[in-house]
Amino acid sequence: MTLALTGLSHHTSPLALRERMTLNPGRVPEALALLHAALGPDSGIALLSTCNRIELYACCKESAQETHNILVKFLGTLYHLSESEFSGFLYHKEASEAVTHLFRVASSLDSMVVGENEILGQIQQAYDLARSSGTLNRMLSVLLQRALKCGKRVRSETHIGEGKVSVASVAVDLAESVLKELQGKSAMIVGSGQVSEQALKTLIERGIGHVMVLNRTLERARLLSRRYRGEAIMLDALPCHLHRADIVISSTGAPEVILKTSDFERAIERRGRAPMFVIDIAVPRDIEREAALVDNVYCYDMDDLQAVAERNLQKRQEEIDACMEIVEYETASFINWRRRLHADPLIKALTQNYDAIRERELRNALDKLSHLTDAQRQVVESLARRITNSLLRKPVAALKNASAMEQEQLMLIIKRIFDLCDTESL
């Protein structure tokens, strides 16, 4: 059977196209059923759809080119696009190349952020949806399970997922290391910069207790604070509320400093000298540099955070060779399994052929040995089975362990010798 992949990702296509080619998980079973019907009842189909990639995996009796043509046509129908709008951004892979690609994807080596964890859950979801939709055959089912195994091995046996690589994640990790515990703490976001909002969202996910959002316009502060069930405050009132914040994230775009060292000195006194974690990601700076000299004020700027993120990313890059060793091992393991599976129908037919000969000759012999006791007959029958199994052992091992090219040649020879030419392989 042909194993083929057709897809596109952030490596090959613009965001605008990927936004048009998104699919609600609720529609996936219907889509899979339609494609499964087009490729035939013995085929296997799975769809991996994320914000950064759309990939169709097919295992069917069609040739690789025919399969790709069917998949491209299906994508156009599914997303209501003409082929000219997306076909130039597609990649097509087959056989071992498709296996290696999927295992790289599962290992997050093909992700926008190398080492991220979300992709494993997305592959699991693709597997679950295909299985519940009844569109998996044996080969594709095993392939997806092996991909999940490969991804888990990469994460447990390497350091690819260690160290945050986004500025927002680094900021939250630093805050947690300084404050020890985020639950019950309060965070203040000053302005509405994208990175500061991402950091605030991550803080909420980590259990931050209370959120204050400050902006020059109260209405804009309210819009953001509603998203996080926070408190909206006018920017002018910042010095009056600074002492309430355990974490301050500032990104206003103001032309000059809005928080001075003296503001932090007063805030620390009002806090009973409880520590404050301050992130200044504005350009130009929102916070006076000397504020970092105030006792218990832990102040970081964009350069600090970016440097940590880049160091973490470099560490992940250094793990890629170790990850690829696992990917290559798991790919070879799957290819070997597939090759053995390819020979299974012939091995079954060959075994049946030998068994039929054995039973025929055994009956003839036992008919002439009617004087044998039941125990003696069992000895003869056991001997016949052992001889058959011994004769089969080496040719079966040769078929299972041969390279792909050798296996094809051996299968042709065996089919011809034993008149098994009507036997189909997987």
| Residue positions annotated with a catalytic role | 51
- DSSP letter at 284 equals S
DSSP character string of 208-250: B-EEEEEESSHHHHHHHHHHTT-EEEEGGGHHHHGGG-SEEEE
31 closest CA partner among 69, 1, 76: 76
| 245 touches 186 (CB < 8 A) | yes
| 342 touches 407 (CB < 8 A) | yes
User: What is the Cα–Cα distance from 114 to 135, expressed in whole angstroms?
Assistant: 30
Residue 306: Cβ within 10 Å count: 13
User: What is the Cα–Cα distance from 257 to 288, expressed in whole angstroms?
Assistant: 6
Is residue 40 left, alpha or beta, with left meaning phi > 0 and alpha meaning psi from -120 to 50?
left
Angle at which helices 95-106 and 320-368 cross, to 10°: 130
Angle at which helices 95-106 and 138-157 cross, to 10°: 40
- Cα dist from 244 to 193, 268, 276, 349, whole Å: 21, 10, 10, 79
Three-state secondary structure call for residue 259: strand
The burial of 122, by beta-carbon neighbours within 10 Å (0-12 exposed, 13-18 middle, 19 or more buried), is given as middle
